[in-house]
Amino acid sequence: MKKLLAISVAVMGFGTTAAVAETVGFSQIGSESGWRAAETTITRQQAEKRGIDLRFSDAQQRQENQIAALRSFVAQGVDAILLAPVVSTGWDNILMEARDAEIPVVLLDRRIDAPDDLYMTAVGADSVHEGEVAGGWLVDEVGDRQCNVVELQGTTGSSVAIERKQGFENAIADHPNISIIRSQTGDFTRSGGKEVMESFLQAENGGRNICALFSHNDDMAVGAIQAIKEAGLNPGEDILTVSIDGVPDYFRAMANGDANATVELTPNMAGPAFDALQAWWQDGTLPPKFIQTPSTLYTQADDPEGEYQRRKDLGY
């Protein structure tokens, strides 16, 4: 068994560790959204439940801070690294340093453009599918009606912004009555969503040309809903809203009739990540390269008030 494990270590280049309390470094993007804050809370809870010593670093949305954090984790000799990569490129060199130090890296909630031997596994949703589910809801909702859509994009260069956009466009491709007339990043924040939506409303006849908002996350949508109200229109009626994440405040907006649909993303990416690492530490079992989390559509018909409360209890 030892020989087999030695071979697998040599092949995979990851170190295995004795069965003592493991130390894991977590490079988190920041706290730009309610979903992100919940992911951090739940990661801390999952580590504590497992007796894992979690070393946390908040990058405040800057890739250079994440790279510095990873370099520090390597210098500390942690047993594993969790990385939620703010953007999808520029990771090869630092991940080679982690691999050379035989430290497994697990990606959380976003993907990277890098050789897949530079990370053990990635935990997250299929972001193209999330966009397709969102777009599919709008197609069903509007039928043959002409529908001009404005789009609030997530962080520029992030895998989820690229892929959610692609998925939504896939869904509406065969429906010429639905088209995206304006699209701009709100950087996944409420303030960003409000500011950009204000500019969309101003540019589109006070919003009277706009049929629907597709937002890459709920926080931007909640900001946009405020802007729609301040423009004297009824969000959820004059302008339909479809989004992604499933954070409590968006469910509250759906319960009030101010929002229409969202595609849920679990903030518990750390549970599957720690399960995979513990299996590796225990007997060298390797996880699949991608551990997919579910993408469930919720609408006003799905007890939004109850879903609000359930998520408040979840750790939001």
Q: Compute CA 94 distance to the chain's CA centroid, rounded to the nearest angstrom.
A: 22
Q: CA–CA separation, 262 vs 21, rounded Å?
A: 39
Residue 34 Cβ vs ligand GZL, minimum distance, rounded to whole Å: 7
- Each residue 96-115 as x (binds ligand GZL by CB under 6 A) or -, in order, gives -------------xx-----
Q: Ramachandran region of residue 303, left (φ > 0), alpha (ψ -120 to 50) or beta?
A: left
Residue 302 Cβ vs ligand GZL, minimum distance, rounded to whole Å: 19
316 token code pair: 């939001």
Residue 43 Cβ vs ligand GZL, minimum distance, rounded to whole Å: 13
Region binding ligand GZL by CB under 6 A among candidate stretches 27-35, 114-122, 173-181, 230-238 = 27-35
Q: Name which of 79 and 249 has its Cβ closer to ligand GZL.
A: 249
Residue among 22, 32, 79, 264 that touches ligand GZL (CB under 6 A): 32
Q: CA–CA separation, 277 vs 290, rounded Å?
A: 14
Q: Ramachandran region of residue 6, left (φ > 0), alpha (ψ -120 to 50) or beta?
A: alpha
Query: In the range 117-176, which residues lie near ligand GZL by CB under 6 A?
Result: 124, 160
Q: CA–CA separation, 94 vs 42, rounded Å?
A: 26
- Each residue 213-232 as x (binds ligand GZL by CB under 6 A) or -, in order, gives ----x-x-------------
Q: Name which of 22 and 249 has its Cβ closer to ligand GZL.
A: 249
Q: Name which of 109 and 258 has its Cβ closer to ligand GZL.
A: 109
Residue 125 Cβ vs ligand GZL, minimum distance, rounded to whole Å: 6
- Other residues' Cβ atoms within 10 Å of the Cβ of residue 176: 9
Q: Name which of 52 and 122 has its Cβ closer to ligand GZL.
A: 122
Residue among 132, 163, 198, 245 that touches ligand GZL (CB under 6 A): 245
Beta-bridged to residue 185, according to DSSP, are: 153
Site membership for ligand GZL, residue 265 (CB under 6 A): yes
CA-nearest of 186, 121, 135, 182 to 163 is 135
Helices first, then strands: H and E counts in the chain: 11, 12
Q: Name which of 39 and 79 has its Cβ closer to ligand GZL.
A: 39
Q: 196-200: which pairs have CB atoms within 8 A and are 24 or more residues apart? A: 196/152, 196/220, 196/224, 197/150, 197/152, 197/223, 197/224, 197/227, 197/228, 198/227, 198/230, 198/231, 200/150
Q: CA–CA separation, 124 vs 289, rounded Å?
A: 11
Region binding ligand GZL by CB under 6 A among candidate stretches 1-9, 29-37, 55-63, 308-316 = 29-37
Q: Name which of 185 and 226 has its Cβ closer to ligand GZL.
A: 185
Contact 123, 272 (CB under 8 A): yes
- Other residues' Cβ atoms within 10 Å of the Cβ of residue 289: 12
Site membership for ligand GZL, residue 188 (CB under 6 A): yes
Q: Name which of 123 and 231 has its Cβ closer to ligand GZL.
A: 123
Q: Name which of 143 and 294 has its Cβ closer to ligand GZL.
A: 294
Interface residues toward ligand GZL, by CB under 6 A = 32-33, 35-36, 109-110, 124, 160, 188, 217, 219, 244-245, 265
